[in-house]
Each structure stands twice: as structure tokens, then as C-alpha cells.
Amino acid sequence: MAAHVLLIEDEPNIAEAIRFILTRDGWRVSTHDGGSDAVEAVRSARPDLLILDLMLPGISGYDILTAIRADPATEALPVLMLTAKGQGRDREAAERAGVSRFMSKPFSNAEMLEQVRALVAR
């Protein structure tokens, strides 16, 4: 059975592009557009990997990540955080919150696949 990736991204074009890249590579992908129910979406989906956008409507990726790390059921979930803001302080804040990897937009298809494969393999 293919590993399951949950993608929380509010930009439909980016979500579709990532879903296409990963599905073509054999991953099972589900998407969620963010918001206050994102943490519950992670709990119910039980993914092997979470790809999480930093800037979401209603709740930040940091807040979602903090909640995931505080929950014993999801604390070990690998999380790849995406952001259009690749500044050092964003990266540092994500690392403090417990992110597994951090990737700036725009990214290449190869870079996305490399990160996903590495995170699920560990």
C-alpha cells in the first residue's frame, strides 16, 4: 500500500501541482485547505507525512505544528513545511516548533520528491 501524504495548502494551484507530482510518483495524497479544523484533519487522516503550508487562513502552520507536536498520537509525524517566506527567522521558528524539514516556494518537482522520499524513509 502506498504511503499516505496529507497536504495542507490553501492555494489550489499549488495543492494540485503537489498532488499531481506525488500521485504520479506512487504516493496516496489527500488535501486540506487549512483553517481551524486542520489539526483534526491530521488526526483523522493519520498520514505517513504531513506537508504543511506556513501561511494559512485562520490559523498559521506554526500553530498547527505546535498542536501536532503536543499530541502523543501525532507527535512523531514527519512534517515538511512550505513557505513563500524563506527568511531565517521563519526557519528558526519552524525548527523550534518541531518541523522535520523546511522548503521555500517556489521549489522544483525533483526537490519535492527528494524531501518526501527522505522523510517517509526515515
Residue 56, Cβ neighbours under 10 Å: how many? Answer: 22
What percent of the chain shows pLDDT beyond 90? Answer: 78
Whether 31 and 7 have beta carbons less than 8 Å apart is answered as: yes
Q: Grid coordinates 518537482 are at which residue?
A: 109
Domain 4-121 has CATH 3.40.50.360: no
Q: Which pTM value belongs to this model?
A: 0.95
What is the rounded CA–CA span in Å between residue 91 and residue 81?
Answer: 9
CB-hemisphere CA count at 13 Å for 85?
13
In this prediction, residues 20-48 reach a mean pLDDT of: 95
In this prediction, residues 15-38 reach a mean pLDDT of: 95
Encode pLDDT of 41-87 as tens digits: 999 999 999 999 999 988 999 999 999 999 999 999 999 999 887 67
Encode pLDDT of 79-111 as tens digits: 999 988 767 888 888 899 999 999 988 999 999
Instruction: Answer positive or negative: Cα dihedral of 50, 51, 54, 55.
Output: negative
